[in-house]
Amino acid sequence: MQIEINGGEILIEADVLAPLLDVAAADVPELMRRQAITSICERGVDADDGHYRLSFFYRNRRVRLNVDPTGEIRKRMTIDFGEQKLPPQLHKPGP
């Protein structure tokens, strides 16, 4: 799996993200536009400079991808919280 990193922009294909969030790839763009899928991007510092931690949230699932400077996914983690809902602040746009 690879993610495209160009300057400050990060591009992940819907085909990569969809199965991790348990949705159809064709639905990902619309879910993101409606802010049903939300995300947080964290950039590493010091020894982790150039690395990213990308977190995606949808319904009761959280997907976290650790990405190296070339865009290669080095670690991925998916948590399904079952019937427990994610906190509402994870489903709202940032400032």
Q: Which domains does the chain have, with CATH numbers?
A: 4-86 (3.30.505)
* Sequence-distant contacts of 53-62: CB under 8 A, at least 24 apart: 54/3, 54/10, 54/12, 56/17, 56/20, 56/21, 57/86, 57/90, 57/91, 58/21, 58/22, 58/23, 58/31, 59/85, 59/86, 60/84, 60/85, 60/86, 61/20, 61/21, 61/22, 61/86, 62/86, 62/90
Contact of 69 with 60, CB cutoff 8 Å: no
Span of 40-44, 62-66, 81-85, 89-93 with lowest mean pLDDT: 89-93
Q: What is the pTM of this model?
A: 0.83
Residue 95 confidence class, pLDDT cut points 50, 70, 90:
very low
State the pLDDT at residue 81.
80
pLDDT of residue 83 exceeding 90, the answer is no
